[in-house]
Amino acid sequence: MSKKYIATPSRTKEILNKYKFSFKKSLGQNFLVDVNVLENIIKHAGIDEEAGAIEIGPGMGALTEQLAIHSDKVVAFEIDQRLLPILKDTLHDYSNVEIIHQDILEADVEAVIRTHFKPNQPIHVVANLPYYITTPILMKLVRDRLPVTSLTVMIQKEVAERMAAKPNSKSYGSLTIAVQYYTEAKVVMTVPKSVFMPQPNVDSSILQLVIRDKPPVEVVDEDFFFELVQASFAQRRKTLRNNLSNFFKEQYTKDEITAILESTGIDGSRRGESLDMEEFALLANTFYKSK
């Protein structure tokens, strides 16, 4: 039975030949050809027959087909016009799929959710993302505070590790804080290159992001908080005091920085990578109030 699915090497090759399709590397086109991996993605996404699914980059429909089978409705954004007739063909048995020809970075996803799904329907974003824009896509989706429950995505392994990292690890950085401020992040599976056609140069992981009801810390000014976090990691090997002195060089002397740091109880000789989100929030709020 599974032989018939789009996500098999033989069926994918058949479609490629039928349409004389050539992959565009610049659009991150690495298609999935393994149904087991897709079933894993869907399981971790929490998809069931009540759920709505939003997909980014359906390609030839490998994941879209599985989402159509397991969910109530799928809306997929695809940038490459050449794939539209192909998707029409490969997904013609599924009446619960809608393809939108648009760059996801330009889409008003909230309006699409409002107009394409039932009110209060649980919505999950599920995708094998184009790797060249993984971070901009995920940051757009989480920052827009969309009414979605979770995002489960196949991305570059190294990026997944950074997003799900814990303090005091090599992968921990400003991207970790940016993602974990909005979501609970977990790497659920690492996937071999052999499940893609063509095979990418990098290893991949499935990352699960569950949207938080509210951020885990209270910050007075979000933009300032994220700027301070970024500044704390500007030069990873430098101490917090040095990175912050550099960031605030127009506003404060080194002694003033030391005094503000002391008032928080956070040792300025630590490195950014040792601070957890609560400590960053305390630092940002203290610096913000002393402006």
Residue ranges of the binding site for S-adenosyl-L-methionine: 30, 32, 57, 78, 103, 128
By the rule CB under 6 A, 268 interacts with ligand SAM: no
Q: Is 20 left (phi over 0), alpha (psi -120 to 50) or beta?
A: left
Q: CB-based burial of residue 93 (10 Å sphere; 0-12 exposed, 13-18 middle, 19+ buried)? A: exposed
Site string for ligand SAM, 31-50 (x = CB under 6 A): xx------------------
Kind plus residue range of the DSSP H or E element containing 279? helix 277-289
CB of 180 to ligand SAM, least distance (A): 24
By the rule CB under 6 A, 21 interacts with ligand SAM: no
By the rule CB under 6 A, 134 interacts with ligand SAM: no
Q: Residue 12 or residue 285: which is nearer to ligand SAM going by CB?
A: 12
Q: Under 8 Å CB-to-CB from 146, ≥6 apart: which residues?
A: 109, 110, 113, 123
Using alpha carbons, select from 246, 263, 155 the residue that is nearest to residue 203.
155
Among 15, 37, 62, 257, binds ligand SAM (CB under 6 A): 62
Which CA distances in Å does 37 have to 51, 118, 192, 204, 288? 20, 28, 10, 11, 46
Q: Residue 11 or residue 241: which is nearer to ligand SAM going by CB?
A: 11
CB of 87 to ligand SAM, least distance (A): 9
- Name the one range near ligand SAM by CB under 6 A: 72-80, 113-121, 168-176, 257-265: 72-80
CB of 280 to ligand SAM, least distance (A): 31
Yes or no: say if 155 and 114 are a contact pair by the CB < 8 Å rule: no
Among 16, 27, 187, 188, binds ligand SAM (CB under 6 A): 27
Which residue type is seen at 2? Answer: S
β-pairing, 204-211 with 183-191? antiparallel
Residues that bind ligand SAM (CB under 6 A): 27-32, 56-59, 62-63, 77-80, 83, 103-105, 128, 130, 133
